Amino acid sequence: MNSNDPSLLDDDAFMMEDPIGYNDAVVGFFREKYAEHIESIFKKLKNRTDSEACPWLGESLPSVPKRIIERHLFPVFAAASCSGGISKHHLAFCSAFIRAISIPLLRIDRRIDRPAIKRIEKQDSICKSQNAQLIECCLFHDGFLDICRLPNGKEIMELVASNYLQVYTSLYYEMMHRYSLDYLSNPKKKLQWIFRSRFSPLTCKYFSTTVQASILLNSKNVSSDIKKLTESFGRLRQLCDQICDVEEDITMGKVTIPVLYALLNDDGKLASVVRTLWSEIQGFGSDLKPSVLSQHAAEIKEITQKLGGFRRAYRLADKWYRQAMSLIHKCNGKTGVGTEVKLLFRLKRAYLERLKCNNWVDIPNYY
């Protein structure tokens, strides 16, 4: 494949018939084309970890897989490529964004999503929590200082701050409503809230923030259509993740869209199994056997599938993808939108198809 011609990946048949091969081809394209830039960014980060001024980065960077951080860099390069080119300021933004947003938020996500049955001794837990909070504050501060120094730094800073206010508010809502029986008795109401609220579990701002910031480094403005497009990516991404993570999410007290769709058709069995699982988790805690946890989670997934929860969620994700493609077509030629941005949406569509072909299970540690 010609690394300078991403249009060769604009093939629906390839994407639908071989979603894994398509995924590998797209990720390979980005990694090959931007290898020098990616290597430069990680080299800068490594140099900072070797400095006595950034001990918190040295502890945090190895804990986050490189492939995950790369996902946050590709949209920057894609938007820059069709808005004036990649400059040294884009590389500086990538380094700052990784420190201010990527690593801290991924660390927080990991702590929030730890299995309910995991036991940590009380004093040890307090020390680890305080240490993690200190590290995250230092990374935030260190990264934000560099963002302020960029061209259009004020506008970029406002973008980052406003977007991540929504993200952290969403995480707060999630934490406060885990194991809520209201989700089981009012699935229609909860679905409406998820689709309408700015703080719903569908909130994801990596793509929105990085694409808009990348454009702002080359231009003074971001069009309203592009803002809408970038927002739609986060919603699509989160829905695909919810389809993939039903079993994991339900054990952590989160009722996601596939299960809510299934509950609309439930005769009481699904809700009963979920209540039983949650009762055992809250009653036995870390003494609950993993085999019991897995058995209940698998049963919930099976019932969700029989009641059409996955099928409805899949159709909704496909609908959102098609709407995004229409908006990309409308934005064609506008600063910041081009073939490479389109490829990132198509990558999510391939992910959705990969899940469907594999009984709604993803490949572990895959892109």
Q: What is the pLDDT of residues 45-75, one digit of tens each?
A: 888 887 776 777 887 888 888 888 999 999 9
Q: What is the pLDDT of residue 250?
A: 95
Domains of the chain, first to last: 6-357 (1.10.600.10)
- Helix axis angle for 66-81 and 88-97, nearest 10°, is 150
CB 288 within 8 A of CB 280: yes
Q: What is the pLDDT of residue 123?
A: 45
Instruction: Please check the confidence at residue 4 and state whether its pLDDT lies above 60.
Output: no
Distance CA 9, CA 27 (A): 11
Instruction: Please check the confidence at residue 130 and state whether its pLDDT lies above 70.
Output: no
For residue 281, the Cα-to-chain-centroid distance in whole angstroms is 27
Question: What is the value of pTM for the model shown?
Answer: 0.89
Q: How far is CA 365 from CA 68, 241, 294, 361, in A?
A: 10, 13, 20, 12
Distance CA 209, CA 217 (A): 12
357: confidence class by pLDDT, cuts 50, 70, 90: very high
Q: Pick the range with the lowest mean pLDDT from 4-13, 29-38, 228-237, 299-308.
A: 4-13
Q: What is the mean pLDDT of residues 61-90?
A: 91
Instruction: Please check the confidence at residue 1 and state whether its pLDDT lies above 80.
Output: no
Find tokens 């081009």 and name the residue.
Answer: 338
